[in-house]
């Protein structure tokens, strides 16, 4: 009888030990699936001569890891005031997460280069500027402003437009459910009103879906949207007002 009792207790102990292992594994898996944001460091020459070929480079990292398997990397190039006539230049991986392309800048003026990086279900697009040939003092000042803003992955047209944009979503966003999205626009500590605001939403580099927002209160623009499936979506906020402001910034939203 005593031996039978000991055998039963040993069996319970073994079963208890086995059942605890999956929980530990589950916790570890949960930690490993946390999404780290990809970062793109864009490097272009500050000045070149008209007709000169320049090397464009962007280094992509996710945490401490070099991203060598990006789905797509392109450089968008346009001369100031002609963004609608921009050119797209395909980039190729060089080494250690650096993607490069060469481009000839034919005319004098201020050019803007924006890298479009799609990797690991995320999208980022930092921007920089290049002075080609001789430019006047006013254009040079404008270039400096754009260069500073490029590090924040946004750009605006105008000398005094300092607009902050923030996307607000629920704590948990679920696929195939209506989700309330809102964007807060603020200029120099005050709500920015009467702007045109829209969202560019894409998943895994797919064709983006555009969502127009309406101003529900001063500086707050809202819309409802249904995400079709789970995943990490790239959302670019576009804000325009008159001829002086055209700014955009990008974030990601995880849909469960």
How do residues 152-168 score in pLDDT, each as one tens digit? 343 333 333 467 888 99
Give residue limits of the domains in the chain: 38-150, 163-255
Report the alpha-carbon distance of residue 60 to residue 148 in Å, rounded: 20
pLDDT tens, position by position, 57-108: 999 998 889 999 999 999 999 998 888 888 999 999 999 999 999 999 999 9
Range with lowest mean pLDDT among 52-61, 180-189, 235-244: 235-244
pLDDT tens for residues 132-148?
998 764 545 544 454 44
Instruction: Write the class of the CATH domain 38-150.
Output: mainly beta
CA distances from 208 to 21, 58, 173, 195, 233 (A): 43, 23, 19, 22, 10
Q: Identical fold at 38-150 and 163-255?
A: yes
- Burial label for 246, CB within 10 Å (0-12, 13-18, 19+), is middle
Cβ neighbours of residue 73 closer than 8 Å, sequence gap 6 or more: 58, 60, 90, 91, 93, 99, 115, 116, 117, 118, 119
Predicted TM-score of the model (pTM)? 0.49
Question: Could you say which DSSP state residue 19 is in?
Answer: H
CATH number of 163-255: 2.60.40.10
């Amino acid at each position: 009888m005593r031996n039978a009792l000991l055998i039963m207790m040993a069996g319970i102990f073994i079963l208890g030990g086995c059942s605890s292992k999956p929980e530990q594994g589950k916790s570890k898996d949960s930690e490993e699936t946390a999404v780290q944001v990809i970062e793109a460091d864009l490097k272009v020459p500050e000045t070149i001569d008209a007709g000169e070929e320049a090397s464009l480079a962007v280094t992509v990292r996710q945490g401490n890891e070099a991203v060598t398997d990006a789905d797509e990397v392109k450089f968008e190039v346009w001369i100031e005031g002609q963004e609608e006539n921009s050119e797209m230049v395909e980039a190729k991986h060089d080494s250690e997460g650096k993607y490069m392309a060469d481009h000839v800048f034919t005319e004098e003026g201020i050019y803007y280069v924006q890298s479009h990086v799609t990797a690991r279900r995320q999208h980022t697009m930092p921007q920089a500027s290049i002075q080609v040939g001789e430019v006047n003092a006013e254009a040079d000042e404008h270039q400096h402003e754009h260069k500073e803003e490029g590090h924040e992955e946004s750009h605006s047209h105008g000398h005094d437009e300092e607009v902050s944009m923030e996307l607000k979503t629920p704590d948990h966003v679920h696929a195939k459910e209506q989700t309330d999205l809102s964007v807060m626009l603020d200029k120099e500590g005050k709500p920015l009103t009467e702007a045109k605001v829209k969202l560019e939403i894409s998943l895994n580099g797919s064709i983006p879906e555009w969502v127009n927002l309406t101003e529900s209160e001063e500086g707050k623009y809202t819309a409802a949207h249904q995400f079709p499936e789970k995943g990490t979506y790239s959302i670019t906020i576009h804000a325009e007002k008159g001829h002086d402001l055209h700014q955009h910034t990008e974030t990601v939203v995880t849909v469960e």
